[in-house]
Chain A
């Protein structure tokens, strides 16, 4: 047995013994010391649970760029009383009017078409909020926010306010005025576009032009949605406007929809599996702002 020698610092091989990184002679020497050292035994006991925790540690990961801003944009939208804001929904669309399937180019009342000439560079695999068209209603200012969020919110509000005014006139007139909704990439990428909404005796027409959206992944399709304020993961409330493929840089799509804008005032584009399931299952690609 080793001589009992009081020491203020634990034996230098406590960690190596726990981690199994000592040479055999070092291990023997440390065990001899441990027999006569209560302090090192206590230290050993305190750290004894760590090696097991270290046996199955996942690799490091990085949070996607822009996710914080998108997350707090979703919180801000929810705070404005326009729903959860993240546009997440599982299950079957439940809206009245149109509920187009996920087959390419399908839309209620009109087939969607898409054209293009070059591949875009946007990453359609990431998400963001589907911005409500009518989000400007009752907008109030919260506590001080970082400048970047203020800028984004101000830009969105300006477009949204314009959209609200036009959509209000859409509901009170039969003269088919226009409203144009700006579309931006869900992940801050280069994809962008616009959607023009008109009224017709048969319902709404939506003409969408998109630039820079990534080519449609294999087995996937892009789907445009009109989303209700109360759409959530647990209680989906949205309708599909139609679906489309991206083969080149620019895409033009035309749909007709019988959806009620009062009930489904949000617009967005997601990437869905082309599996015949009409429900929203995939991540967002474009948001209306």
Chain B
């Protein structure tokens, strides 16, 4: 801790404070006029998923960037309207993002000229996409060892014996690591308001 403070006595304690705050507290701080560390912490927590939403929904990295920028401008402007009793901060943020994403989607150039996809995505479709992005985000928050054993299981469909051989580790380690990975994943999903 002392090393951290000595390394950057001005900004690090602020960063650490923001990192310890809940999403709701961060939104309250933004609503109170602080558009720096609290909003940057929210960017760290949600920017990736909002960008992923843009990439998946709009199939255009430029438009996805535009979605991120506009979402955080709107978030800064509307943070004061967030009421924890009406839903989670994640729901509040993705409500903003989804509305903007639909606006961007409606731009003629933002989608391929496919007659089967004339209608904008439904709320259910976007909900599922947001959940999938949250799962990806949660997976990426795990250690490399934990993420690796899960990805080899669900993505590569390997048996535990094959995973042990591929990674060169004992079978028992694969079993223990898989269980810990699922436990940690569940915890990370809960932090993202995803039931699993």
What is the interface of chain A, defined by CB distance below 8 A to chain B?
Answer: 10, 12-16, 18-23, 26, 46-47, 49-51, 53-61, 63-64, 67-68, 70-72, 74-76, 78-79, 84-86, 88, 90, 125-129, 142-146, 233-234, 271-273, 275, 277, 281-284
Contact = CB atoms under 8 A, between A and B. Distances in A.
B161 interface: yes
A12 B172 contact: yes
Interface string B9-33: 0110010000000000000000001
27 contacts: A12-B175, A12-B179, A16-B175, A21-B178, A47-B182, A53-B131, A53-B194, A55-B154, A57-B132, A58-B56, A64-B51, A67-B47, A67-B65, A68-B40, A71-B47, A72-B35, A72-B43, A74-B70, A84-B73, A86-B66, A86-B70, A127-B63, A142-B35, A144-B14, A282-B62, A282-B109, A283-B60
B191 interface: no
A19 B178 contact: yes
A58 B153 CA distance: 15
Interface in B87-124: 100, 103-104, 106-110
A148 to B, nearest CB: 11
Interface in B163-188: 163, 172, 175-176, 178-179, 181-183, 185-186
B55 A61 contact: yes
Majority secondary structure of chain B interface residues (helix, strand, loop or mixed): helix
Nearest to B39: A75
A50 B72 contact: no
A61 B109 contact: no
A233 B72 contact: no
Contacts, number: 188
B82 interface: no
B52 to A, nearest CB: 6
A236 to B, nearest CB: 10
B72 A71 contact: yes
A21 B66 contact: no
A67 B68 contact: yes
Given A15-B182, A53-B135, A53-B196, A273 B68 contact: no
Contact of A71 (B68, B159, B163): B68
A144 B36 contact: yes
Contact of B107 (A13, A53, A68, A281): A281
A104 to B, nearest CB: 16
A283 B153 contact: no
Contact of A58 (B60, B107, B108, B136): B136
A18 B135 CA distance: 17
Given A58-B136, A281-B108, A283-B65, A46 B73 contact: no
Contacts of B182: 15, 18-19, 47, 50
Given A19-B153, A54-B135, A74-B73, A275 B65 contact: no
